[in-house]
């Protein structure tokens, strides 16, 4: 895990906002210890040497991977997993090949579209290139970072309806986030998530939905950075994630089958969350895949597992088991 997120033994002295910073690490460590495991919470950020020293000293049965970046680069987390493979140490979560494919949002969309799964039309605008909108991209559009996750850089201003606003937002991504931008068709509809567990045999958890009750009527229903991470904003705007309601058995089955197909196409394993837009006519559009997603007890992945009868401790045990049995 990241050094600043190594959880304390006692969290009673921290308020809700402070706890929210390290909630995932605390929940996982607590669950593992309650299962009878000996746990070393290892902070890693800029060097691989601490990993090797810990492996040599502890000889762990498995490494529970909670890193989201390395050297402050979100694309380098896959290299840490590759290093664990070189050390021949089992680990939880996704393999590095699946992480590379899923992190490349444009590549993931191309692969999924090749298999005739709906995904919004899109275009990548590289840094240093002029922004020329192709005719096939019709407004409204949404502008995102090509590689960042956790909705970094996404706000209500990310949805644009003119070439002038498009250029302005792409420039924001290039200059403020320092990455290429991906611009895709904005799909009006419901924001839904599907959690998938498994290596070869896959299980999809109940379809989850992000509900934004108190946003202004004309505001796009999107998962902005404030929506995902600002507790005060969540309370003010009535933002909750809950089981998706009103899905017919046929539609729920289609979403489950599609999720498993995408999971295999992108060579994911361990566990992942797939993000979709569901239109009012029932069309399902794949947005992106999130290997090693947020797995805190209060977040949608664990809540969906609980809804399916899998308590948090059992979910963590299942993730460990999938890591131990990878490749067998």
Tokens of 304: 């969906």
Rounded-to-integer distance, Cα 175 and Cα 165, Å: 15
Same domain? 171 vs 68: no
pLDDT confidence of residue 270: 98
Task: Tell me how far CA of residue 139 lies from CA of 13, 46, 68, in angstroms.
Answer: 49, 42, 33
- Residue pLDDT, tens place only, 281-308: 999 999 999 999 999 999 999 999 999 9
pLDDT confidence of residue 151: 65
Residue finishing a domain among 44, 73, 91: 91
Same domain? 226 vs 180: no
Confidence of residue 328 (pLDDT cuts 50, 70, 90): low
Same domain? 193 vs 319: yes
Mean pLDDT of 127-142: 93
pLDDT confidence of residue 216: 72
pLDDT confidence of residue 276: 97
Q: What's the domain count of the chain?
A: 3
Confidence of residue 161 (pLDDT cuts 50, 70, 90): very high
Residue 174: pLDDT over 70: yes
Same domain? 113 vs 129: no
Rounded-to-integer distance, Cα 151 and Cα 145, Å: 9
Confidence of residue 150 (pLDDT cuts 50, 70, 90): low
Tokens of 196: 């998938």
Instruction: Give the position of tokens 């959880």.
Output: 7
Same domain? 136 vs 252: no
Give the H/E segment covering residue 145.
Answer: strand 141-145
pLDDT confidence of residue 205: 98
Same domain? 71 vs 154: no
Q: Are 272 and 263 in contact (CB under 8 A)?
A: yes
Same domain? 201 vs 233: yes
Residue 318: pLDDT over 90: yes
Residue finishing a domain among 158, 185, 212: 185
Same domain? 297 vs 276: yes
Same domain? 109 vs 215: yes
**CATH number of 199's domain:** 3.30.470.20
Confidence of residue 32 (pLDDT cuts 50, 70, 90): very high
Residue 143: pLDDT over 80: yes
Mean predicted lDDT score pLDDT of the chain: 93
- Residue pLDDT, tens place only, 206-265: 999 998 877 777 777 777 777 777 777 777 777 888 999 999 999 999 999 999 999 999
Residue 168: pLDDT over 90: yes
**CATH number of 129's domain:** 3.30.1490
Task: Tell me how far CA of residue 324 lies from CA of 36, 37, 97, 319, 320, in angstroms.
Answer: 16, 14, 18, 9, 6
Residue 327: pLDDT over 70: no
Mean pLDDT of 262-287: 97
- Residue pLDDT, tens place only, 57-104: 999 999 999 999 999 888 899 999 999 999 999 999 999 999 999 988
Residue 314: pLDDT over 70: yes
Same domain? 204 vs 271: yes
pLDDT confidence of residue 152: 74
Tell me which residue range forms the domain holding 24.
3-91
């Amino acid at each position: 895990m990241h050094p600043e997120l190594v959880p304390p033994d006692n969290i009673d002295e921290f308020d809700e906002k402070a706890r929210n910073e390290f909630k995932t690490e605390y929940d996982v460590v607590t669950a593992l210890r309650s299962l009878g495991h000996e746990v070393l919470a290892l902070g890693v950020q800029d060097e691989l040497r601490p990993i090797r020293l810990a492996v040599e000293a502890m000889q762990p049965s498995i490494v529970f991977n909670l890193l989201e970046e390395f050297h402050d680069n979100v694309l380098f987390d896959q290299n840490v997993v590759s290093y664990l493979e070189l050390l021949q140490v089992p680990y939880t979560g996704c393999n590095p090949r699946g992480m590379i494919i899923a992190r490349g949002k444009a590549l993931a969309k191309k692969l999924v579209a090749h298999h005739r799964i709906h995904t919004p039309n899109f275009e990548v605008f590289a840094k240093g290139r002029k922004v020329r909108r192709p005719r096939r991209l019709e407004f409204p559009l949404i502008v995102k970072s090509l590689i960042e996750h956790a909705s970094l850089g996404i706000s209500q201003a990310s949805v644009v309806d003119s070439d002038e606003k498009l250029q302005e937002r792409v420039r924001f991504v290039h200059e403020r986030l320092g990455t290429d931008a991906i611009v895709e068709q904005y799909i009006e509809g419901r924001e839904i998530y599907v959690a998938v567990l498994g290596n070869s045999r896959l299980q999809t958890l109940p379809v989850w939905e992000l509900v934004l009750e108190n946003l202004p009527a004309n505001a796009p229903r999107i998962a902005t950075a404030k929506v995902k991470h600002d507790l005060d904003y969540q309370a003010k705007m009535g933002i909750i994630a809950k089981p998706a309601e009103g899905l017919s058995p046929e539609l729920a089955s289609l979403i489950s089958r599609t999720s498993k197909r995408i999971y295999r196409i992108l060579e994911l394993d361990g566990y992942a969350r797939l993000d979709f837009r569901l239109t009012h006519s029932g069309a399902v559009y794949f947005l992106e895949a999130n290997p090693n997603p947020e797995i805190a007890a209060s977040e949608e992945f664990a809540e969906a597992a609980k809804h399916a009868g899998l308590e948090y401790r059992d979910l963590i045990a299942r993730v460990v088991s999938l890591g131990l049995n990878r490749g067998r």
